[in-house]
Structure 1
Amino acid sequence: MDESTNVLAWPTSPGHVTVRPLSSKSPCKVWLIRRESDQTYMVLKLSLTMEDVASLRQNPVTQSRKYVVDFYGTLATQLGDGLIMEYCPGGSIGDLVNSRGVFSLGECITALAPVAQTLSIMHAEGTRHGDISPANVLLTASGMPKIIDFQETASQAELVSGAGTPGFMAPEACPGGREQAAGEQDVYSLGACLWFLLSGKPPEQEILRPPVQVQFPTLPQIIQELLVESLDSDPGLRPSAEQFARTLFSSASAEPVRWEGHVSPEATHLMETVHPGTRVSSSRRGRKHAKAAGQQTKVDEPVDAWQDHPLRPTPGAMKLVGAAALGLLVVAGSLVGVNHLRAATASDATNEQTAAVEPSCRIDDVARVPACAMQQDTVVSAFLSLTQQRDRAMSKLSSGDLTAIYSSGSEQLKRDQETIATLRELGLRFEGLQTQLKNVSIKARGQGNTVVLSAESSQSQYHYVDRKGRQIHTAKATMAERIEIELVLSDRGWRIGNVLRH
């Protein structure tokens, strides 16, 4: 079953939220998780025995290397133990090239020179990486490179070759073969990575490869020579990793890697580098502006919208103004839930989809939960139906109806009930209350049978009406804003939990 839609098959661990799979393979072994104590994003890799051994080898490297992905230890999940490591939201430089095109020489310096420096230290200690490729060089939030995937790391006593990524392996690499000195094959891989970043494809075999001067006529001669020597079929003629780094640094000025528009939208807000069009007067100011540019612009809160709609003059208006002010503040506070949770779309297509899905996925026995109840489409449909029910319950001022759509202990239920009590005391009710949802998707997997949904929610215009049916106040439609909501699977089916973010 596809893990991207079957969210209840995602790994869970106390104190952590599973955000999404990071691999399209099934079964998926690599997941993005978030530690609840400090909201730190990390990568969980459900590991095998050999991967555990490789990570133990990686550990001493990460303790002293700035440009190696940090390894945090292991984490127990219901699917078995996994490795947890640093999350690099920029993704791999290979994915970046495939998405936006080739790198400039300055970007190549930023992406590869630190990697070459790190490898030179490893080689001096008699250790090689064994699988340097664009897929194994990731970008941090600040746009700096970090090496990952030390599965082929070997010491001087274990310099058996034959593993690596096709297109980036040295020609002498063969099963059972041995390196004469640690790092010869890593240097070839560095040269192949540089070729890839500049051309968009790995180098061909030497006999088929075009001359460097023909392939890259505008490159400085020193870089042309570096490519020729790094990709030499004779390992003894290749430069060292330290020489590779020094040559890159001396060839041109380093430039920030341009990732804007090509990093996953779910990770963009974590990135810190300067965006196009950002005016920078100093490096410190540039970092500040970059952080601001990386975040989504927040729309006005519903509380501000209330201030634009004073109550219309009516008998006893002063009393209503004072009382309604309290009521509106309560509603604004809870309907940061209404504006977020009341995400029901009124389209006939959505209603038909909900009606079609729910009967076949009804949970009649909690011990036998149908598989379709765990699918993303079913969860989203259930959420749409629940929010429509919530709109109707709030419009009828029915606390009893609300309890049927919330999970046990939901804080949002308490706020909604307080809102209803306040409106009853004021002799007011809602008329025309309706919320629209767009881009509803599952954001994360929480503890137990809990999932987190993300959506863009907007509120249509609605009225406050007194007992005689007179419109006392009109609230204008609100702009769409991004929200996150918990949904909990119980023996009654999916129920609304809490509002996590708005």
Structure 2
Amino acid sequence: MEANGQVGVVHPPAVDEGYRAERLLGSGRASRVWAVVRNSDGARFALKVPAASPGGHGTTFETRRELNILSRFEHENLMHLSTVLETDQGPGLLMELAPGGSLGRVLRARGTLQPGEAVTVLVGIASVLAYLHGLNVCHGDVSPGNILFTASGKPLLGDLGTAALLGSGPAPAAAEEDDVLALAAVGWLIVTGRALPPAERRLPLAVLVPEIPAALAEAIDAGLEEEPKRRPDAAEFARRVFESTPAQPLDLALGDASAPLDQAPTRRSRLDQGRAPAGLRRRAGRGKNRRPGGSPGEHEGSGRSRNRMLLGAAAVLVAATMGLGAVAVAAPEMLPGAEPGEPGTPPPASDGGQSPGAQPLPPPDQAKDADTVRGAGDGAVPGSPEPSGQVSLARTSGSELELMVSSSDPVQAARALAELRARAFTAADADLLTGINTPRSPAMQADQAEISKLEAAETVLSGLAVEVVSAGPAVPGQDGRVSVRAAVSTSAYAERDARGGMVRNVAAVSSQDVVLVMVRTADGWRIEDILAPPA
């Protein structure tokens, strides 16, 4: 379903139950999607209503049945469905609003995306396809019009209503492979700006676009294999693309004419709002074309930012799990090195026992991570130097880390805060965050939300370590804020259930550049926000 695809005169639906339709977002053969507002609180949603004549649309019962079927699918990169509303055009599905518009709209405005942006889109959508395929569901209509973006730039797969339950009808045997082919065709369009030509007239992508990373070209070409069985599955496709080149945030700054909603932020909106230190704002704006007419409050939206990035834990610096980061691409199971069969599929339901083949966690007094969770005591000493020249803090005592946090050097404090943050996630203890983040800050809200997920799932992260391999210099900013640019590495780790059973393994991430926005308090330095470095 393509954004702004209106043909002819279309009247907005009259919506019951305290909602009002504002504008048409997209139109297809079977349905139309409208932006609607809830009158009670001004919350914005999208409403999908039938495009057929009044006598041709389905019943509320049928629509609620569709909702009941589709609402059991939950993934960070899948459009969320809320409820069914009555309208004068038939029953409508109320769903999450994607104010960033569609990929088709972005490509019409820009032609192509940068390779890192392509990774952001392709891995996010491949991850949700892997999830659906693990549940024996294929989407059936992966296209630029059905790939949508949140205000933070996170890709969402929409229009799952066209999905076919495998085995419930005459669905083609290669349905899952067709989803991969369709996504690879989207990848071709993203990097070339052209529709996919027939196979007999198609050059290898590395020949056609030699400036993109060879590994990315090879990953997309693999998904385009004519023989379905030779294509990677969705999880493998995600892994190949993810490993091909570093992901980068999607630039949604498309100008006034094509924006579907007036609140879509630019990639640098957080910097333009004055939240980052002045030195960073100057560097981010140097030599770039700013979006005209922006005001400080224009891009606030829900308060989330694509430039914000998680430093560690379940997202392992990749923030699709919360839609908060500069790299809004993959759930952690999409990271390279995840165990075969796990990417994109939910963990099996626990029967209270241990997972087959899993090793139980050692008792607390024997656990390797016991020191790193609460601190090893005042007698502990820092670990050996890393190849980068930095010293590992994994076995540094809590008291020593507190001294580093309280030092006058924000760069030294940044290294200690990264280690303390990893320990908070390893322990799944939100109380530890008070010694790491400023209250009610973007960093605090993001970390609390992620730890709440671990608590709800009754899982822990075993073996997680976050190292600041290089940092500095510190750049002073407004209101006492200081920004520290850092390169951060994340160790391999395992997510385990309460009995020690393995949920998944996640491989190490060697390096990721971030900017820590820090504030010095009476108790030492604290993190206020984590941003992607300015381009």
Question: Of Structure 1 and Structure 2, which has the larger fraction of its residues in helix?
Answer: 1
More relative contact order in 1 or in 2 (CA 8 Å, sep 6+)?
1
Larger radius of gyration: 1
